[in-house]
């Protein structure tokens, strides 16, 4: 999405489609907002930064499309190209392909693990380039894929996207994306460490999913997100 599309997304999903309410929230005139959404006026870098800060959006969320891809890939994931297909026994595994378990049910038990807790494996798998994974130094035995089943990380990770998790990487680095076990639910969230042995849990869709601060022991980090793609 470009900046116009992201502004339209905010207006429609956070301000009930009201350009007037959006304009009031960012301290700009409704006429200016209308010019942005009708492509009569561009949204510059300074204005984009103002909107991000005023609405407490993640830094860089309103970056240009090409810049945003770089920031997402470098900060929270890396680019593997187009996703491979779901496992099909009739199609031989390529020389440079590796199969990764693809879990279709995101309900967890109250335990601290992942593979032992996940339900309904169904023997489904995704295929990726072995070379690309090895270049990143990732242990292929520690990767799994799941389906994002809500809109808490939209628009970056839409409902229905396939998400890759590196279960060997559980050390929290502020602002990165992780899969966590939170009270038996598998969630994809931005994590930040806070004083007093606390963890701040954030969503991109912050209006519907407000920030939550919890004790470190209240969640289990399943792994860091290394890749995602959208199911169409």
Q: Does some domain include residue 85? A: no
Share of the chain above pLDDT 70, in %: 76
- pLDDT-derived band at 79, boundaries 50, 70, 90: very low
Report the run of H or E that residue 191 belongs to, with start and end. Answer: strand 185-194
Measured CA to CA, the distance from residue 174 to residue 88 in angstroms comes to: 38
The answer to whether residue 136 is domain-embedded is yes
The answer to whether position 90 is within a domain reads no
Rg (CA), the chain: 19
Are residues 45 and 117 part of one domain? no
Q: Is the pLDDT of residue 224 over 90?
A: yes
Same domain flag for 132 and 68:
no
Enclosing domain of residue 111: 97-229
Last residue of a domain, one of 42, 75, 108: 75
pLDDT at residue 14 greater than cutoff 70: yes
Q: How confident is the model at residue 44 (pLDDT cuts 50, 70, 90)?
A: confident
Q: Are residues 108 and 222 located together in one domain of the fold? A: yes
- Residue 174 included in any domain: yes
Measured distance CA(130)–CA(111) in Å, rounded: 31
What band does 102 get if pLDDT is binned at 50, 70 and 90? confident
Q: Tell me the mean pLDDT in the region 202-222.
A: 90
- 141 and 41: one domain? no
Confirm whether pTM is higher than 0.95: no
**Same domain as 207, residue 164:** yes
Number of domains composing the chain: 2
In a shared domain, residues 106 and 192: yes
Which residue would you say has higher pLDDT here, 40 or 138?
A: 138
Mean pLDDT of the chain: 76
pLDDT of residue 90: 56
In a domain, 81, yes or no: no
**Can you spell out the DSSP letters for 46-57?**
HHHHHHHHHTTP
More confident residue, 201 or 231: 201
CA–CA distance, 4 with 15 (Å, rounded to integer): 15
Q: Are 56 and 126 members of one domain?
A: no
Average pLDDT over every residue of 7-28: 85
- The confidence score (pLDDT) of residue 170 equals 93
Q: Is pLDDT of 11 > 50?
A: yes
82 lies in some domain:
no
% of the chain surpassing 90 pLDDT:
17
Whether residue 222 is contained in a domain is answered as: yes
pLDDT at 64: 47
Highest-pLDDT range among 25-39, 51-65, 87-101, 187-201? 187-201
The length of the chain, given as a count of residues: 232
The pLDDT value given to residue 211? 92
| Distance in angstroms (rounded) separating the CA atoms of residues 124 and 61 | 33
């Amino acid at each position: 999405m470009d900046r116009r599309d992201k502004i339209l997304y905010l207006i429609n999903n956070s301000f009930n489609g009201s350009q007037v309410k959006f304009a009031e929230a960012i301290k700009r005139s409704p006429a200016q907002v209308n010019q942005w959404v009708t492509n009569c006026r561009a949204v510059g870098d300074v204005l984009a930064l103002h909107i991000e800060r005023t609405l407490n959006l993640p830094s860089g969320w309103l970056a240009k499309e090409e810049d945003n891809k770089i920031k997402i890939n470098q900060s929270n994931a890396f680019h593997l190209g187009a996703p491979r297909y779901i496992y099909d026994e009739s199609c031989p595994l390529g020389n440079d392909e590796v199969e990764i378990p693809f879990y279709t049910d995101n309900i967890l038990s109250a335990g601290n693990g992942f593979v032992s807790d996940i339900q309904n494996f169904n023997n489904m798998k995704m295929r990726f380039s072995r070379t690309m994974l090895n270049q990143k130094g990732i242990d292929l035995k520690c990767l799994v894929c799941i389906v994002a089943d809500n809109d808490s990380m939209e628009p970056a990770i839409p409902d229905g996207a396939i998400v890759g998790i590196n279960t060997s990487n559980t050390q929290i680095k502020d602002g990165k994306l992780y899969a966590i076990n939170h009270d038996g639910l598998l969630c994809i969230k931005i994590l930040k460490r806070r004083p007093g042995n606390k963890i701040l849990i954030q969503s991109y869709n912050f209006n519907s999913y407000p920030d939550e601060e919890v004790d470190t022991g209240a969640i289990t980090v399943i792994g860091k997100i290394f890749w995602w793609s959208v199911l169409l």
